[in-house]
Amino acid sequence: MDVVDQLGAMREGKMSRRAFTRSLLASGVAIASVPVGARRAMAAAEDQGTYFTWGGYDIPELFQPYNEANGELPNFAVFGGSEEALTKMRGGFVVDVSHPCNSALPRWVKTGLFQSIDTSRLSNWPDVMPELVDLPGNMAEGNDIWMAPFDWGQTSITYRTDLIDLEGEEESWDILWDPKYKGKLGSLGAGADAWWIGAIKAGVPFDQLDTPEAFEKIAAVMREQRPLIRTYTDDNTTLEQALSSGEMVASMTWNSSAVQLQAEGVPVKFAKPKEGALTWVCGLMVHKDAPKLDKAYEIIDSLISVESGKFLIGDYGYGHSNKKAFDEFDEETLTGLGLSKNPIEILQAGHFQIPQTQEWETKMNEMFEQIKAGF
Amino acid sequence: MTETSVSSTRKQRARNKGGLSGLLHRSENLRGYLLMSPTLLVMSIGILAPFLILVTMSLWTRDGFSFDTALTMANYERAWTEPIFGALLKRSFWISGIATVVTVALCYPMAYYVAFHVHRNKMMWIILMTLPFWTSYLLRVFAWKVILGYEGVINSGLMVVGLIEEPLEFLLYSREAVIITLAHAWAAFAILPLYVSLEKIDKSLLEAATDLGDGPVARFLRVTLPLSLPGIIAAAFLIFIPTTGDYITPALLGGPDGAMIGNFIQLQFGPVNNWPMGATLSIVLMLWVSAIALVFLFITRLAKDKIA
C-alpha cells in the first residue's frame, strides 16, 4: 500500500490515524535503512587500500596481481602535483600509499607523515634495481627505506615532426623558447618540472639552484617563455589533444605523451635535447597511519611487479624499477622508447634533480606562479 | 484585569511550580534563546567558527611545514604592497563584473518573456531554464572547453561554413572564454530573482501608463525597469559575489592571462604551501567584495529615492 492509497484509506475511515502513522514510520525506517543495506552490498571498496597518485596511474593494468588476490582494484585518489598531494596529507588526508618523486623525498620524510618500508613484505623487492633505491634522502635514518622506487623517466619536449623544421640543427630546449611558435607551445604547469627545465635552459647547474642569482637567471628565462605559451597544465590529456590537433606544435611533456601519440599515428618525437633532458625517479611511500597496511604492501608489490613493468614500459614509455620487466622487450624496442636495459645510462645522460629545502620549494613555486600569472 | 497583573499572577504560578518549566516561564529571554539555539548553533559551527579560524590563520606566518603563531600583519602588508595581488584582484573584479553585466543582460529578456508572455505552465518554463544546472558545475565548464576549443563546435562550424580558414585561437585560454563560461554557468542565479521581481509587477500600472499615452519603450523604461530593479540588484549580487572567487573556470579555460585571485588562493593552500597567506587573501577578497556591495547598495538606494 503506498502513501496515496493509505491517505485514501484513512480518509474513508478504513485505517485509523494511528495505523497510518505506524505505517508511515515503517516506510520511513525502510527508506532510511536502504543506504545501509546498499553500502553493505558494495562493501568491497571499503576493504581495499587507497592509492594517492598522479592521474594516469589509476588504471587496472598496473594492478593485475592486486586484482587477482583481492578481486577488486584499490581505491584511487588523484593529484596533479606532488606538492599539492603533500599539502592535502598534511591537512589530514590519510591514504595507504602515495607516489612522490626523488626530488621531494627528503622533504616528505621530514614531515613525519610516513613510515619506512619493510621490504621483506614485498615479494618483488629482490628484483628492484638497487641504483634506484639509493637516492638522496631514501635512507635518511640508518637503513630505513622510505620510498620503494617504481617508475622513472624524463621530462623533455614532444614535438610535431611535420610542423617543426629543425633545419638540420640538433634538438634543443630552444624549441620551447622560439618566438616563431608563439601561442603554439605548451608547458607542464608545475614548478617541479618547469623550473628545472628553466635552470637547464639558463645554464644554471643543479647544485647551485639555491642562490639568489640562480633564482633571478631562471626567472628571467621563464618570463621570456611565458608569452609564447598557449597554456600551462599538468593535465597530460590536454597537452596530448592539443599536440594531435596541431593547436600546439611542441610541449614540455613526460615520456608517456609522446609514446601514446605515436601509438595513435600522430607524427611526434620525444626530443633528446642537446642540453640534456630532466630525469626523475618516482616511487611509493606508506602513510604512517595507513588504515590498511597489508593492502598498502599489496599495492606496492603489484606496482613493482613484472606485469606492471611490462605495461609501464610498453604503453607509457617509462622506465620501471623491476629489472626483470625489461627482459620482456628486445633491445631495439627499448631504444625506440628512449630506454635501455641499463637505466643508469639514461639517468646519467640527463640532469637528475637534487632535493631542495622546503624554503626553496615554496619560494620557487611562488615565483613560478607569479610568472605564470604575468609578473 | 490589566496586563501587568496577568503576568504577575502567571509569574507567581510559575514560581510555585519551580523546576525547569518554572525557569522557562520566569525568563522570557531564556525562552527566546532556546528557540533560537538550533539556528545559533548551526551558524556558530558552520559560519562563525570557520571564519574566526580563517582570521586567526591570516595573522600567522608560515614556518617551514608548520605555522609561526605569533600574530602579525605581515601577510596583509604583503597583500597590500606586492603588485601581483592588487592586479589579480582588479582582474577578478573586471572579469566577474563583465560576466555579471552579460549574464543579467542575457537573462532579463528570458525572465521578461516568461513573466509577461507565458500564461500557461510558467513553472515548466522556469524548470526548463534551470535544466542545465542539474548537472555539475565542472561538467558545464568542460562542456564550454569542448565548445570553444581549437577543434571545438564553434571553430569547426565556422570552418565548415567557410567563414574562417584557420581555427580562432582566442576562443579558448583567454579572458573572453572565462567570461562566456561564467555567464552561462551562473545564469540560473540571475533568471530566478529577475523572474520573481518581474512577476510581482502590478499589471494595472502598465495599463495606466498606456492610458496616459506611453508607448511600449517609454512604458518599459518608466514602469517595468524601475520596478524590476530589486531583481536586477539581487541577480547582480548573486553572480558577482561567487564569480570573483571562482577558480575552476579560469584554471581550465583562462590560460596564462586568465588567472584570477581564486586561483592564487588555491595555490597558496596547495603547491605554494602557505596557508596563512591563502587565508589573508581570502579575507582581503571578502573585504573588497563587501565594500563593493555596500557602495553598490548605497547607489541603488539613492537611485530608488530619486525614482520615488
Strands B66-68 and B61-63: antiparallel
Q: How many CB atoms lie within 10 A of CB A220?
A: 13
Neighbouring CB atoms inside 10 A of B153's CB total 12
- Residue B233 contacts by C-beta under 8 Å, 6 or more apart in sequence? B296, B297, B300
A87:B167 CB<8 A? no
Is residue B124 within 8 angstroms of chain A, CB to CB? no
Which contacts of B202-206 are long-range, i.e. CB under 8 A and separated by 24 or more positions? none
Q: Using a CB-CB distance cutoff of 8 angstroms, which residues of chain B are in contact with residue A183?
A: 169
Residue with cell 615554496: A362
Mean of pLDDT over chain A = 86
| C-beta atoms of A361 and B273 within 8 A | yes
Task: Assign A41 a pLDDT band (cuts: 50, 70, 90).
Answer: very low
pLDDT tens digits along A163-205? 998 888 899 999 999 999 999 999 999 888 999 999 999 999 9
Which of A81, A242, A374 is facing B257, going by the closest CB pair?
A374
Q: Is the pTM of this model over 0.90?
A: no
C-beta separation of A250 from A176 below 8 A? yes
CB contact A247 to B (< 8 Å): yes
* Domain residue limits, chain A: 3-152+280-347, 153-278+355-372
Mean pLDDT of A282-305: 95
Check if the beta carbon of residue A244 is closer than 8 Å to that of residue A312.
Answer: no
Say how far apart CA A62 and CA A320 lie, in whole Å. Answer: 12
Q: How far apart are CA B9 and CA A148, in angstroms?
A: 81
Residue A313 to residue A327: CA distance in whole angstroms:
11
CA distance B257 to chain A (A): 6
Do residues A105 and A277 make contact, with C-beta atoms less than 8 angstroms apart? Answer: no
A364 touches chain B (CB under 8 A): no
Q: Give domain A3-152+280-347's CATH number out of 1.20.1530.20, 3.40.50.2000, 3.40.190.10, 2.30.110.10.
A: 3.40.190.10
Dihedral sign from CA coordinates of B283, B286, B292, B296 = negative
Tell me the residues of chain A between 268 and 327 that have a Cβ less than 8 Å away from chain B: none
The letter for the amino acid at A56 is G
CA quadruple A136, A141, A143, A146: dihedral sign: negative
Beta-carbon separation of A87 and B169 below 8 A:
no
CATH of domain A153-278+355-372: 3.40.190.10
Please name the helix (run of DSSP H) or strand (run of DSSP E) that holds residue A3, with its range, or none: helix A3-11
Contacts of A76 (CB under 8 A, 6+ apart): A50, A51, A52, A53, A58
**DSSP 8-class letter at A60:** G
Interface check B86 vs A, CB under 8 A = no
Grid cell 565594500 is found at B291
B chain contacts of residue A81, beta-carbon cutoff 8 Å: 270-271
CB contact under 8 A, A83 and B257: no
Angle at A311 between CA B142 and CA A152, to 5 degrees: 85
In the prediction, which pLDDT does B73 show? 93
Residues of A in contact with B271 (CB under 8 A): 81, 83-84, 87, 190-191, 365, 369
Q: How far is the CA of B273 from the CAs of A275, A286, A359, B220, B269, in angstroms?
A: 31, 22, 10, 53, 5
| Distance separating alpha carbons of residues A232 and A259, to the nearest angstrom | 21
Q: Please give the pLDDT value at position A30.
A: 46
pLDDT category at A350 given cuts 50, 70, 90 is confident
Query: Which DSSP state fits A88?
Result: H
Which of B217, B298, B283, B219 is CA-nearest to residue B75?
Answer: B283
pLDDT tens-digit readout, A270-290: 999 999 999 999 999 999 999
Whether residue A238 has pLDDT greater than 70:
yes
CA distance A223 to A213: 15
Q: Which of A110, A229, A362 sits opposite B256 (nearest CB)?
A: A229
Cell of B86: 592588487
* Probe site for chain A from B145, B273, B274, B275 (most A CB atoms < 10 A): B273
Q: Which of A83, A90, A230 sits opposite B271 (nearest CB)?
A: A83
- Amino acid type, B110: M
Mapped onto helix, strand or coil, the DSSP state of residue B233 is helix
- Tell how far CA A266 is from the center of its chain: 24
- Are A373 and B271 in contact (CB < 8 Å)? no
CA–CA separation, A25 vs A155, rounded Å?
Answer: 62
C-alpha cell at A260: 601514446
Instruction: Determine what percent of chain A is predicted with pLDDT higher than 90.
Output: 62
Contacts of A372 in chain B (CB under 8 A): 256, 259
Domains A3-152+280-347 and A153-278+355-372 fall in the same CATH topology:
yes
Residue with cell 564569480: B243
Please give the full DSSP string across A44-55, using - where no structure is assigned: HHHHS-EEEEET
Which residue type occupies A176? L
Pair B25, A50: CB distance under 8 Å: no
Q: Chain B window 153-182: which residues touch A at a Cβ cutoff of 8 Å?
A: 167, 169, 173
Alpha-carbon Rg for chain A, nearest whole angstrom, is: 26
Check residue B168 and report its DSSP letter. Answer: -
pLDDT of res. B239: 94
Do B274 and A362 lie within an 8 Å CB cutoff? yes
Q: Are A355 and A102 in contact (CB under 8 A)?
A: yes
Q: Which three cell numbers stand for residue A293?
A: 597496511
Question: Which residues in chain A have Cβ-Cβ distances shorter than 8 Å to B88?
Answer: 373
Q: Do B169 and A358 touch (CB under 8 A)?
A: no
- State mean pLDDT over A364-371: 92
Q: DSSP H helical segments within B162-254, as ranges?
A: 175-185, 187-199, 203-211, 216-219, 225-227, 229-244, 248-253
Query: Touching check for B87 and chain A: CB below 8 Å?
Result: yes
Inter-chain touch A373–B151, beta carbons under 8 Å: no
Q: Of B56, B54, B58, B51, whose CA–CA distance to B77 is shortest?
A: B58
Longest dimension (CA), chain B: 92
A182 touches chain B (CB under 8 A): no
Contact A362 B256 (CB under 8 A): no
Among the partner residues B65, B169, B272, nearest to A369 by beta-carbon distance: B272
- Which residues, 6+ apart, have CB-to-CB distance to B112 below 8 Å? B194, B198, B224
Beta bridge partners of A187: A232
What pLDDT shows up at residue B17? 54
Q: How far apart are the first and last CA of chain B?
A: 47
**Minimal-distance CA residue of chain A relative to B259:** A373
The H helix count followed by the E strand count for chain A is 17, 12
The alpha carbon of B306 is separated from its chain's Cα centroid by a whole number of angstroms, namely: 27
Residue-level length of chain B: 308
Cβ–Cβ gap A231/B256 under 8 Å: yes
Nearest CA in chain A to B145: A238
Mean pLDDT value across residues A16-20: 48
Contact A369 B267 (CB under 8 A): yes
Compute the half-sphere exposure of residue A375: CA atoms within 13 Å on the CB side of its CA.
15
Of B169, B267, B271, the CB nearest to A183: B169
Range list of H helices, chain B: 3-17, 19-26, 28-43, 49-58, 74-81, 83-117, 122-130, 137-148, 153-161, 175-185, 187-199, 203-211, 216-219, 225-227, 229-244, 248-253, 261-269, 275-307
Shortest distance, CA B292 to any CA of chain A (angstroms): 24
Residue B271 DSSP label:
T
Chain A closest-CA separation from residue B237 CA (Å): 27
- From A239's Cα to the closest Cα of chain B, the distance in A is 12
Q: Which of A83, A87, A248, A251 to mutate to test the interface with B (most CBs of B within 10 A)?
A: A87
Cα distance between residue B72 and residue B82, in whole Å: 17
Tens-digit pLDDT profile for chain B (308 aa)?
444 454 555 555 545 555 666 666 667 778 888 888 888 889 889 999 999 999 999 999 988 777 888 899 999 999 999 999 999 999 999 999 999 999 999 999 999 999 999 988 888 988 888 888 888 889 999 999 989 988 889 999 999 999 988 888 888 899 999 999 999 999 988 999 999 999 999 889 989 998 998 888 999 998 899 899 889 999 999 999 999 999 999 999 988 888 899 999 998 988 888 899 999 999 999 999 999 989 988 888 887 777 65
- B6 CA to chain A: closest CA distance, Å? 38
Q: Do A87 and B259 touch (CB under 8 A)?
A: no
Q: Kindly report the nearest CA distance between residue B177 and chain A, in angstroms.
A: 13
pLDDT for residue A127:
94
Q: Residues, chain A, total?
A: 375
| Phi, psi for residue B251 in degrees, rounded to 5 | -65, -40
Cα separation, B229 vs B300, in Å, equals: 9
Place of cell 631562471: A218
d(CA A289, CA A303): 21
Angstroms from A86 CA to nearest CA on chain B: 8
